[in-house]
Structure 1
Amino acid sequence: MNKSVAFTTAPVLVTAYAGLRALDGMDGERGPGPAWTAGHLAFLAALILFVPVFLELRRLAGRGPFATATAAIGLVGAVCTMAQISVDLVVGALAADHAAMRGMFADVQSVPGVSLVVYAVGPVLLFVGLLVMFCRLAVVRAVPVWRTVAVVLAVLVSLLGLDALPAVGLLLCAGLAPFPGRGTPPATAHS
């Protein structure tokens, strides 16, 4: 896959998920239904595309231990979020209505560790990985500072919750797409 496709498409799909999520909530409830399913499929595709994004960011950051650890943290976050989105898709497909969804989510989240890993801490690691990686890339001048500012703002806005996802998606579009990358930073800047 062309790396620039992943850098462009991942944030566009995050933005699409945000739009479909807003559309789904217009009746006061989210899911089940076509908007729920389409939105979650878009977000799942975005998360899959973050795999080559993190691998390329690691390359640009010099492939050293720091870059590798940061990429690993981001990828763990992506995998945890993929698990969450997969649960959402299955629950949305199986539930007859929103009340049934609530019961199914309660059952899933009652499994020891699931709430912490899949819903609370795990997904945050995706944003931590992006934040740290872009700050590192700005320091070694592998990306323009404005890209880092856009990604940092996306991470900060994400703290406002899921209703802020349209802004997060657009800020990620600004920071990631199209992503030119300048190659590997000088050897003295590696860590």
Structure 2
Amino acid sequence: MNASRTSRANRTSRAACYAAVGAPALMALYGGIRLVPGSREPGLGWTTGHTAMFAGLLLFAPVLLALRRLLAPRGTTGGRLAANAALGTAFAGLAASLVQIGIDLCVGLAAADKGEQVRLFQRVQDVPGVLPAVYQVGPLLFYVGLLALLVAASVGAGRALRWWSPVLMLLGTVASGADLAFIPLAAACYLVALSPLVRLGAAPRTALA
């Protein structure tokens, strides 16, 4: 039983390891494609970029779970509840972000030109609740929850991450929020911030005797 649990834990750790690299890489690909002329209107650039971003967001799911597992062996009951709340917040924001990118993909595929793209976006965003839930407030919860998990994993005697992980995550988030042209820079910050997960995921776990 111990060997089976250890094997599952190793597979989960490796998945988080790959995701910690893949998620920022796909995010950087999206950001780079956005800088190509013509990529912000219906076409191959729009579809390719948003598909990459959608896949990158999906890869953040194992990253979030890995960060939560880092906090599992330590902390009080209140601390564990706070960590679970941060995880739930991050997943709620991640879901909103996926819906947003999904809408962007569908609109890009359905629209024949830029004008129709604008009209379709307006029609979707005019639906009550869509704008705050999917575009304004909802996606922010992902970054709030992710940052909270990073902070929790980088403080205290048993910290698994260093102080610069949440700092770089915050820097990248602020940069991309200020201008979407900085998404590749944000992705680089995220990659370095999450790099300790690669080291931790590469270290095999052994079964207990």
| Fold shared by both chains (TM-score > 0.5) | yes
| TM-score of the two chains, using structure 2 as the length reference | 0.81
In 1, Cα distance between equivalents of 2:27 and 2:86:
21
Aligned-partner Cα distance in 1 for 2:118–2:60: 29
Tell me the TM-score normalized by structure 1: 0.88
The residue aligned with 2:169 is 151
- 2:28 aligns to what? 15
SS at match of 2:174: helix
Give me the CA root mean square deviation: 1.7
Deviation at 1:153, TM superposition (A): 1.3
The letter for the 1-side match of 2:56 is A
Shift of 1:136: 1.2
Question: Which structure: larger Rg?
Answer: 2
Correspondence for 2:5:
none
**Mean alpha-carbon deviation: is it higher for 143-152 or for 112-121?**
143-152
- Measured in 2, the distance between the counterparts of 1:76 and 1:51 equals 11
Does structure 1 conserve the Cα–Cα contact (< 8 Å) formed by 2:161 and 2:196?
no
Identity %, equivalent residues: 37
Aligned to 1:55: 65
Q: Does the 8 A contact of 2:43 with 2:108 survive in 1?
A: yes
Q: Amino acid of the residue matched to residue 38 of structure 1?
A: T
Q: Distance in 1 between matches of 2:200 and 2:171?
A: 20
Task: Give the residue type in structure 2 aligned to 1:89.
Answer: L
Output one character per residue of 1:64-96: Cα deviation in whole Å (capped at 9) or x when no partner.
Answer: 111111011111111101000000000000100
Q: CA deviation at 1:178?
A: 5.7
SS at the partner of 1:58? helix
Query: Which segments of 5 or more consecutive residues in structure 1 lack a partner in the other structure?
Result: 183-191
Which residue does 1:164 correspond to in 2? 182
Aligned to 1:102: 118
What residue in structure 2 maps to residue 187 of structure 1? Answer: none
Matched, 1:130 2:143: no
Aligned length: 179
Structure 2, unaligned stretches of length 5 or more? 1-11, 74-79, 202-209
Query: Which residue among 66, 82, 88 is the counterpart of 2:98?
Result: 82
